[in-house]
Amino acid sequence: MSSFRPTRREFLAATTLAAAGELFRGSRAAAQPIHHISAKTTQSVDAYLDTRVPDDTLRALALHAVDVARQSGASYADVRIAERQTLYPGFTSVGTRAAVTYGVRALVDGVWGFSYGRSPALDAVTQCARDAVSLARLSSQLSGAGTAGPLPGAAGTVVDPAWSPPPVVTGTWQTPIEIDPFTIPVQQHAELAIAVEMMVKRVPGASGSFRIDWFRETRVFAATTGSLLTQRLYRVVPDITAAVRFGSNVIRLQIPELHARSAGYELVARADLMTAMKAAAERAAALTRVPFGTIDVGRYPLVLCGDAMATLMIVVLGQACELDRALGTDVDIGTSYLPLDQLGGAVASPLLTVRGNRSGDGIATVQWDDDGVAPVEHTVVRDGVLNDYHSSVETAPALTDWYRRHKQTPRSNGCAVANDAGDIVMVRPPNLTVVPSQGHTPIETLYKDMRKGILVLTEIGVSSDQQLTSGGIWGQPFEVQRGQLVRRLRRVQMQFNTTPLLKGLTAIGDATTVRPADVWTRKGMPWVDGRTSASAPAALFKEINVVTFPV
Amino acid sequence: MKRISIDLSRPGVPTTPGSSWFPALHERMADTQPVITRDQAMSLAKRVLGMSSASSAWVHITHIVHSTTRLANDRIRDANSGDTLRIDIVVEIGDAMVVVGTNQLDDVSLQSMVARADAIRVQLMGGLDAKEQIHPLFWDEQDTYPETHLYQPSSVAALHSARTTAIPKILDVVRGRGFRTSGFVGVMARADAVMTNKGIRAYSQETDCEVTVTARPPDGKSSGWSGAAARDWSRIDPVAVATNAVEIAERGVHVQAVEPGRRTAILSPAAVAQLLRFFVYQFAGDASDGGARGFSKVHGMRRGSKFQERFFDPRVTITTDPTDPDGGFRPWFADGYVSAPTTWVDGGLLKYLAYDVRGALSHKKPYAEMPFGMRLHGGDTTIEEMIASCEDGIYVNRFSSVDSVDMLTGMITGVTRDGCFLVRHGKIDRPVKNFRFLTSPFFFLNNIVAMGKPERAAFGNTPWTDQEIFESALRGEDLEWPRRPMIVPPLMVRDFNFNALIDAV
């Protein structure tokens, strides 16, 4: 399993809870603060969770599903079945949910069929497997027999993927954690949230936002080849910020170390959490004192802090290097400005090197992907040259010649992802790492000589287009003159064409400027959410187009 | 390999699919009732409430059945079917709320869910030294709602048949003209229910369908898109959708770049719907009163909103109605309260903002759901007449990748896609390279030249953005496909801000 994320439903539940909390706090003068809670009991959410489906049952159901698919005529089939628990403790609300889901993928006459379900019963799983085979057979009849995925390249050529099932593998694995968040008493979760808010409030004008979504999932993968894998996955998606607000004057800062990742409760059970929150609030307060102003429309040099750079990289490189996009698999869902004929070509400044992995400090960390493949670290962009893609078993054959020319073994990079066990399997970005400069390059160095330009020190939003050729950035930019912050810019949007922007990367920060970020990415139809994380150093770009709009 | 025996005697694992509540998916899909019925939902909710010791509790049930097919490169890319179920119990205590959910129907799972909710509730009550909260409207009896026609038998049948009837026709049309096909055929049936242990009994079932087709020549240098969406499958003509997509693609070859800038724009209903996605959030009463929206009296200050003031062209009227014959939506919202027909903008004047139940009580306002299923009333000018009357402009078949830039001003950005043409001297002159745009409904709804007849617009591949997820979840809209029906006219507007060229096709 991969870039684990809450399902849309879970996210909805979480955010609705948070919202409800905000409304309560805003509307009830006599509201009772939860920080009066004392640890009278020590019951954890786990204590009430007595319906967990045993791992053996999940495995047995998975094996049964692939047996049924084979007997029904599938030349290959695999299944993902999972039980997932979620926990959303907050200031004013506690949410928890348990769900069993599964999805069966079956190949008949070279065409996939997919069916999903939720009942962990033999009959239901049997029928789900049969439905997947029936859908594959029907799809094959309707669209004409073919191979598993003759995908036209971006130039219109047909690539023969020579699809073959992944190697047989068996095993079990668990996300390395120290403390299972589901064993922590509910009050302790709530008290932590209150303590953080109280700490932030010590800074005049500041308020804290503390929401952490915890996920625990046992996911079993089985295939007709004989593969059988069990992974116990822990994920955390924190949204912990310090905000300083004076009317419409708001600065919101996240705590760099607390980002979406594969981890346990130890992430927040750290001695310096309160200090980090207070420091973030003080920094936000300092930034609110920079006066507002405007800037003329035009092109300006741009410095992005590490987390803003990480966000940008997820959107314009992480997604563009998904191999199914690059192959032009589905023009409606979206393709890429980096088709295969760009391999080996310069697509960015020589300063840019971006690696993908599913073993490091990110939210996509797994031992095996949803094809049952052990992921490998891969460098998608090396010194500005496009070098590799995020791939799956289905898509990887398109790179066979490239790998052989470079004396590498053709392989999937292990980026097949079904975010929920019941979701369809697609290529998704792994954890991304942008390599920092080796020299001493703190962020101040990047703008100290800037005569007039833009500096972004807080989180940003990035939107792009269906081929990721262009985009817009919004957030809280500052104007820099002669190396000094002179004003906060209102009513501006930064727009770019991707390739010129990346080729205009002029300098990159050192390891001290590296920050993480994570963003939602969505793919498929109906669309499936995914969370992608990256870490990146600060960066200086030659220019970005700044447009303004009136109030 | 060692095989593991399946222990079906274990408590919590039902031995028959779906237990006694409803049969397995394959049986339901062959039936006329694919989703949980009113009686089943009420019985299930009552059973859950009966397990709880809370004096005020809600049960929410959502059951969705999907049958979807995605086309890519002239073939079925994936065919997908299944169902999802969610059962939540919600309890309020003092300033806190406990929500516990499951997707299992067996008694052990349900009892576990309720036990967890009760145990957490007791813990929080003990810690808070607080009493269980009684929602101000909790005692309201409510079991009758406006009658809607959201559930259509033809769509229920299409859960099974849409693939076999629509896909060959679409492929025939597009392939037959020498183009390649991407597309989507989706059918959904859904049931929602809310019950409290005092008086609310809400149930709704609905169906919805969407067909979209993207046609491209083998060189991929032009693109045409068309889509149709309806509650009733029989109102969708896949051949017409495919034909329209091909014709746009055929007219779209040999694109030329024209200078970006402020130009007259003729926008198809699909394009207008994309522009209004974020406009919905301008009607959030709490945010607007707090100074965070374009309707706010003072930005950044909690000074209220500019009711009765003119924001738009006098031809602009926006309403919502659960019984809208072209779309409609569930006639209740949030915790089961009635979603009444509402006029939001009348003759360009702001008339109404959305306050949820708690916000409404706090602000002493009537409560209303956000206008996700809005109807922008129109005129009688056809797109052909708009083109004929246009001396110099751009026709936009579709916008894509639309995202919010600034909620205070309603500014949005995005790109044109799948059909963008220069209009000169009353005719389509030539296809042009795609643009990025930057605009706001507060601008373009003030620059209206002509309005056409409203229709349900298909959204196609329009994933929720981060901003939408945040704002929607905050206000009770869920994030499933399909999006709630939006009924909008084609528009002709002047000075639309196409502010950059892009390379994407």
Q: Kindly state whether residues A183 and A230 are assigned to the same domain.
A: yes
Chain A partners within 8 Å of B417 (Cβ):
465-466
Q: Render the burial of A174-200: b for 16+ CB within 10 Å, e for the rest.
A: ebebeebbbebbbbbbbbbbbbbbebb
Q: Kindly state whether residues B291 and B232 are assigned to the same domain.
A: no
Number of domains in chain A: 2
Residue B20 contacts A, CB cutoff 8 Å? no
- For residue B351, is it within any domain? yes
A410 with A261: CB under 8 angstroms? Answer: no
Q: Indicate the pLDDT class of residue A160, thresholds 50, 70 and 90.
A: very low
Last residue of a domain, one of B231, B250, B269: B250
- For residue A480, is it within any domain? yes
Q: Kindly state whether residues A225 and A346 are assigned to the same domain.
A: no
Q: Where are the beta strands (DSSP E) in B25-74?
A: 57-72
Which A residues 421-480 touch B at CB under 8 Å? 422, 424, 461, 463-470, 472, 474
User: Of A33-47, A266-280, B477-491, where does mean pLDDT reach its minimum?
Assistant: A33-47
- For residue A275, is it within any domain? yes
- For residue B302, is it within any domain? yes
User: Of A396-400, A515-519, B146-150, B472-476, where does mean pLDDT reach its minimum?
Assistant: B472-476
Which of helix, strand or coil describes residue A498?
A: helix
Q: Kindly state whether residues A218 and A296 are assigned to the same domain.
A: no
pLDDT in tens, B286-325: 899 999 999 999 988 889 999 999 999 999 999 999 999 9
Residue B137 contacts A, CB cutoff 8 Å? no
- For residue B14, is it within any domain? no
Q: Kindly state whether residues B196 and B343 are assigned to the same domain.
A: no
Q: Kindly state whether residues A405 and A523 are assigned to the same domain.
A: yes
pLDDT in tens, B397-429: 999 999 999 999 999 999 999 999 999 999 999
Tell whether the model's pLDDT for residue A17 goes beyond 60. no
Q: Kindly state whether residues B283 and B429 are assigned to the same domain.
A: yes
Q: Do B500 and A24 touch (CB under 8 A)?
A: no
Mean pLDDT of A117-125: 91
pLDDT in tens, A484-543: 999 999 889 999 999 999 999 999 999 999 999 998 888 988 988 888 999 999 999 999
Last residue of a domain, one of A228, A253, A288: A288
d(CA B381, nearest CA chain A) in Å: 30
Last residue of a domain, one of B195, B223, B250: B250
- For residue A515, is it within any domain? yes
Q: Do A127 and B24 touch (CB under 8 A)?
A: yes
Instruction: Give the pLDDT confidence score for residue A211 in this predicted structure.
Output: 80
In whole angstroms, what is the distance from residue B151 CA to residue B320 CA? 18
Q: Indicate the pLDDT class of residue B134, thresholds 50, 70 and 90.
A: low
Q: Kindly state whether residues B298 and B374 are assigned to the same domain.
A: yes
Q: Indicate the pLDDT class of residue B123, thresholds 50, 70 and 90.
A: confident
Q: Kindly state whether residues B224 and B280 are assigned to the same domain.
A: no
In whole angstroms, what is the distance from residue A510 CA to residue A440 CA? 6
How far does Cα A202 stand from its chain's mean position?
33
**Which of A12, A123, A142 lies at the smallest CB-CB distance from B478?**
A12
Q: Do A152 and B7 touch (CB under 8 A)?
A: no
Which B residues 288-327 touch A at CB under 8 Å? 291, 299-301
Instruction: Give the pLDDT confidence score for residue A82 in this predicted structure.
Output: 97
Tell whether the model's pLDDT for residue B140 goes beyond 90. no
Q: Kindly state whether residues A62 and A27 are assigned to the same domain.
A: yes
**Which of A11, A32, A154 lies at the smallest CB-CB distance from B94?**
A32
Token pair belonging to B401: 């990748």
- For residue A254, is it within any domain? yes
Q: Kindly state whether residues A311 and A238 are assigned to the same domain.
A: no
Residue A151 contacts B, CB cutoff 8 Å? yes
**Which of A27, A150, A465 lies at the smallest CB-CB distance from B359?**
A27
Q: Kindly state whether residues A49 and A132 are assigned to the same domain.
A: yes
Number of domains in chain B: 2
Q: Which amino acid is at A342?
A: Q
Q: Kindly state whether residues B31 and B167 are assigned to the same domain.
A: yes
Token pair belonging to A126: 């049997």
Which B residues 226-285 touch A at CB under 8 Å? none
Instruction: Give the pLDDT confidence score for residue B7 in this predicted structure.
Output: 41
Task: Starting at the earlier edge strand, list the strands of the sheet with A378-382.
Answer: A385-386, A378-382, A354-357, A431-434, A528-536, A515-523
Measured CA distances, A124 to A421, A485, B245, B277 (Å): 15, 62, 39, 38
Tell whether the model's pLDDT for residue A16 goes beyond 80. no
Q: Do A122 and B76 touch (CB under 8 A)?
A: no
In a mutagenesis test of the A interface, which of B66, B120, B289 is the best target, namely the one with the most A β-carbons within 10 Å? Answer: B120
Q: Rounded to the nearest 5°, which phi and psi values hold at A498?
A: -60, -50
Mean pLDDT of A362-367: 95
Q: Do A37 and B128 touch (CB under 8 A)?
A: yes
Instruction: Give the pLDDT confidence score for residue B480 in this predicted structure.
Output: 82
In a mutagenesis test of the B interface, which of A143, A395, A474 is the best target, namely the one with the most B β-carbons within 10 Å? Answer: A143
Instruction: Give the pLDDT confidence score for residue B26 in this predicted structure.
Output: 52
Q: Kindly state whether residues A267 and A300 are assigned to the same domain.
A: no
Measured CA distances, B21 to B44, B81, B106, B187, B382 (Å): 8, 20, 9, 23, 50
pLDDT in tens, A94-113: 889 999 999 999 998 888 88
d(CA A439, nearest CA chain B) in Å: 36
Q: Kindly state whether residues A32 and A127 are assigned to the same domain.
A: yes
- For residue B13, is it within any domain? no
Q: Indicate the pLDDT class of residue B80, thresholds 50, 70 and 90.
A: confident
Q: Do A118 and B116 touch (CB under 8 A)?
A: no
- For residue B4, is it within any domain? no
Last residue of a domain, one of A258, A288, A318: A288
pLDDT in tens, B337-367: 888 899 999 999 999 999 877 778 777 788 8
d(CA A150, nearest CA chain B) in Å: 9
Chain B partners within 8 Å of A12 (Cβ):
472-473, 478-479
In a mutagenesis test of the A interface, which of B436, B442, B505 is the best target, namely the one with the most A β-carbons within 10 Å? Answer: B436
Chain A partners within 8 Å of B26 (Cβ):
127, 130-131
Q: Kindly state whether residues B393 and B314 are assigned to the same domain.
A: yes
Instruction: Give the pLDDT confidence score for residue B16 in this predicted structure.
Output: 39
Last residue of a domain, one of B216, B250, B284: B250
Which contiguous run of DSSP H or E holds residue A99? strand A93-108
Q: Kindly state whether residues A439 and A310 are assigned to the same domain.
A: yes
CATH classification of the domain holding B37: 3.30.2290.10
Q: Indicate the pLDDT class of residue A246, thresholds 50, 70 and 90.
A: low
Q: Which residue has the higher pLDDT, B24 or A142?
A: A142
- For residue A449, is it within any domain? yes
Domain that holds residue A63: 8-152+166-288
Measured between CA atoms, the residue of chain A closest to residue B180 is: A331
Q: Do B120 and A121 touch (CB under 8 A)?
A: no
In a mutagenesis test of the A interface, which of B5, B104, B160 is the best target, namely the one with the most A β-carbons within 10 Å? Answer: B104
Percent of chain B clearing pLDDT 90 (strictly above): 67
- For residue B1, is it within any domain? no
DSSP string for B77-105: EEEEEEEEEEEEEEEEETTEEEEEEES--
Mean pLDDT of B179-188: 95
In a mutagenesis test of the B interface, which of A463, A531, A547, A551 is the best target, namely the one with the most B β-carbons within 10 Å? Answer: A463
Chain B partners within 8 Å of A115 (Cβ):
80-82
Instruction: Give the pLDDT confidence score for residue A355 in this predicted structure.
Output: 98
Domain that holds residue B90: 25-250
Which A residues 90-119 touch B at CB under 8 Å? 92-101, 103, 111-119
- For residue A3, is it within any domain? no
pLDDT in tens, B90-122: 987 766 788 999 998 888 889 889 988 888 887
Q: Kindly state whether residues A216 and A340 are assigned to the same domain.
A: no
Q: Kindly state whether residues B136 and B152 are assigned to the same domain.
A: yes
pLDDT in tens, B235-249: 999 999 999 999 999
Tell whether the model's pLDDT for residue A93 goes beyond 80. no
Residue B338 contacts A, CB cutoff 8 Å? no
Residue A161 contacts B, CB cutoff 8 Å? no
Which A residues 348-387 touch B at CB under 8 Å? none
Q: Which residue has the higher pLDDT, B141 or B276?
A: B276
Tell whether the model's pLDDT for residue A24 goes beyond 90. no
Q: Do A465 and B400 touch (CB under 8 A)?
A: yes
Residue A29 contacts B, CB cutoff 8 Å? no
Which A residues 51-80 touch B at CB under 8 Å? 51, 53-54, 56-57, 59-61, 63-64
Q: Do B113 and A550 touch (CB under 8 A)?
A: no
pLDDT in tens, A79-88: 999 999 999 8
In a mutagenesis test of the B interface, which of A37, A42, A46, A51 is the best target, namely the one with the most B β-carbons within 10 Å? Answer: A51
> Treating both helix axes as pointing N-terminal to C-terminal, what angle do B466-474 and A8-27 enclose, rounded to 10 degrees?
60
Q: Do B286 and A45 touch (CB under 8 A)?
A: no
User: Of A98-102, A163-167, A455-459, B448-452, where does mean pLDDT reach its minimum?
Assistant: A163-167
B405 with A474: CB under 8 angstroms? Answer: yes
Q: Kindly state whether residues A301 and A271 are assigned to the same domain.
A: no
Q: Kindly state whether residues B149 and B192 are assigned to the same domain.
A: yes
Tell whether the model's pLDDT for residue A154 goes beyond 60. no
**Which of B95, B414, B438 lies at the smallest CB-CB distance from A34?**
B95
Q: Kindly state whether residues B139 and B170 are assigned to the same domain.
A: yes
ipTM of the complex: 0.91
Global pTM value:
0.91
Chain A partners within 8 Å of B129 (Cβ):
32, 36
Tell whether the model's pLDDT for residue A153 goes beyond 70. no
Q: Kindly state whether residues B333 and B347 are assigned to the same domain.
A: yes
Q: Do B72 and A49 touch (CB under 8 A)?
A: no
A227 with A259: CB under 8 angstroms? Answer: no
Q: Where are the alpha helices (DSSP H) in B333-465?
A: 357-363, 383-388, 441-444
Q: Indicate the pLDDT class of residue A143, thresholds 50, 70 and 90.
A: low
pLDDT in tens, B447-489: 999 999 999 999 999 988 877 877 766 555 677 899 999 999 9
Q: Indicate the pLDDT class of residue A275, thresholds 50, 70 and 90.
A: confident
Token pair belonging to B127: 């810690």
Q: Do A331 and B119 touch (CB under 8 A)?
A: no
Last residue of a domain, one of A232, A266, A288: A288
Tell whether the model's pLDDT for residue A159 goes beyond 50. no
- For residue B474, is it within any domain? yes
Residue A21 contacts B, CB cutoff 8 Å? yes
Q: Indicate the pLDDT class of residue A203, thresholds 50, 70 and 90.
A: confident
Per-chain mean pLDDT for chain A: 85
Question: What's the per-residue H, E or C state across B273-292?
Answer: HHHHCCHHHHHEHHHHHCCC
Q: Kindly state whether residues B322 and B404 are assigned to the same domain.
A: yes
Instruction: Using the structure block, give the residue that is written with the tokens 């999932």.
Output: A217
Tell whether the model's pLDDT for residue B203 goes beyond 90. yes
Residue A37 contacts B, CB cutoff 8 Å? yes
Measured between CA atoms, the residue of chain A closest to residue B100 is: A96
DSSP string for A104-163: EEEEETTEEEEEEE---SHHHHHHHHHHHHHHHHHHHHHH----S--EEPTTSPEE----
Per-chain mean pLDDT for chain B: 88
Q: Do B5 and A60 touch (CB under 8 A)?
A: yes
- For residue B15, is it within any domain? no
CATH classification of the domain holding A229: 3.30.2290.10
In whole angstroms, what is the distance from residue B301 CA to residue B382 CA? 43
In whole angstroms, what is the distance from residue B372 CA to residue B383 CA? 25
